[in-house]
């Protein structure tokens, strides 16, 4: 693994279904983030984790949950997907003292029908 | 709350110089970052300004004026591969850690 990986690359999901987006990094960064990117709205922070065992809410957390059991993994779960959650999801990581320099994964394109 | 404004689109020709402006209104400001994103790709870090002034990295430079809540990204000797979206992002303190809030992005098109 080099950097950040995300899975799946893309997914089509029926509304109401549960979905977990996976994110793994091998840079030993303490801080990790989940963003969604919608056309014309840039990147919006969903949840973040400054270190393993802690998480926090970002700008648009409703409908999403995260966990951080270890340094490398930061999964994002949609408990019951809705069409408004159709978006491209990016995971990122950084050293906690350098949040301005974030490294992004390749993204997951999610479509909720 | 906070807000960032940057132009939605900029067009320039190969070899030219282009400036992408970013104005912000926020509290708890630490600095201004710039990211590049090609179509279908991941955002990649370009530069960060914590202090007033110009930071230069090769063909790219970034400027910050904290008193004016304003910054810009300057791209020189434009190349076709510079066609991409460019995002400014303010670094803010939330709780005990800094986080980024991104602007909506500027789509740069470089013409031959």
Residue A8 preceded by cis peptide, ω within 30: yes
The span from the CA of B48 to the CA of B35, in Å, is 9
Check residue B1 and give its pLDDT. 67
Residue the block writes with tokens 């809705």? A82
B2-39 pLDDT per residue, tens: 789 999 999 999 999 999 999 999 888 889 999 999 99
Which chain A residue has its CA at the smallest distance from B95's CA? A56
Residue B38, chain A, CB below 8 Å: the answer is no
- Residues near A108 by beta carbon (within 8 Å), at least 6 away in sequence: A6, A7, A8, A9, A10, A11, A21, A88, A89
Greatest distance between any 2 Cα atoms in chain B: 47
Q: How far is CA B99 from CA A32, A93, B49, in A?
A: 10, 11, 15
What are the b/e assignments for B81-98, b being 16+ CB within 10 Å? ebbbbbbbbbbbebeebb
**B107 exposed, middle or buried (CB, 10 Å; 0-12, 13-18, 19+)?**
middle
Among the listed residues B105, B95, B42, B87, the one whose alpha carbon sits nearest the alpha carbon of residue A92: B42
What secondary structure letter does DSSP report for A70?
Answer: S
Residue the block writes with tokens 């996976």? A22
Look at B100 and A103 and tell me if their CB atoms are within 8 Å.
no
Check residue A1 and give its pLDDT. 53
pLDDT (tens place) for every residue of chain A, 113 residues total: 579 999 999 999 999 999 999 999 999 999 999 999 998 778 999 999 989 999 999 999 999 999 999 999 999 999 999 999 999 999 999 986 787 899 999 999 999 99
> What's the pLDDT band for B81 if we cut at 50, 70, 90?
very high
Look at B44 and A43 and tell me if their CB atoms are within 8 Å.
no
Q: Given a cut of 80, is residue B90 above it in pLDDT?
A: yes
B53-67 pLDDT per residue, tens: 999 989 999 999 999
- Substitution target in B28, B31, B62, B94 with the highest count of A β-carbons within 10 Å is B94
Mean pLDDT of chain B: 93
CB A23 within 8 A of CB A32: yes
Total CB pairs under 8 A between chain A and B: 59
The span from the CA of A54 to the CA of A61, in Å, is 15
The span from the CA of B66 to the CA of A27, in Å, is 32
């Amino acid at each position: 693994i080099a950097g950040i990986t995300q899975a799946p690359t893309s997914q089509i999901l029926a509304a109401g279904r549960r979905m977990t987006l996976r994110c793994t990094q091998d840079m030993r960064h303490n801080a990790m983030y989940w963003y969604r990117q919608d056309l014309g709205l840039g990147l919006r922070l969903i949840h973040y984790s400054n270190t393993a065992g802690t998480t926090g809410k970002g700008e648009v957390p409703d409908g999403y949950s995260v966990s951080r059991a270890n340094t490398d993994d930061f999964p994002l779960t949609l408990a019951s997907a809705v069409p408004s959650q159709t978006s491209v999801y990016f995971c990122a990581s950084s050293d906690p003292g350098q949040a301005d320099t974030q490294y992004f994964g390749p993204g997951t394109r999610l479509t909720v029908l | 709350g906070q807000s960032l404004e940057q132009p939605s689109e900029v067009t320039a020709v190969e070899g030219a110089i282009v400036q992408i402006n970013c104005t912000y209104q926020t509290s708890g400001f630490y600095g201004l970052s710039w990211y590049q994103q090609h179509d279908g790709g991941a955002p990649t870090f370009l530069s960060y300004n914590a202090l007033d002034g110009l930071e230069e990295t090769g063909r790219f430079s970034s400027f910050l004026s904290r008193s004016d809540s304003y910054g810009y990204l300057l791209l020189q000797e434009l190349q076709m591969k510079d066609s991409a979206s460019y995002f400014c992002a303010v670094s803010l303190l939330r709780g005990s850690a800094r986080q980024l809030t991104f602007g909506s992005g500027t789509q740069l098109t470089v013409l031959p």
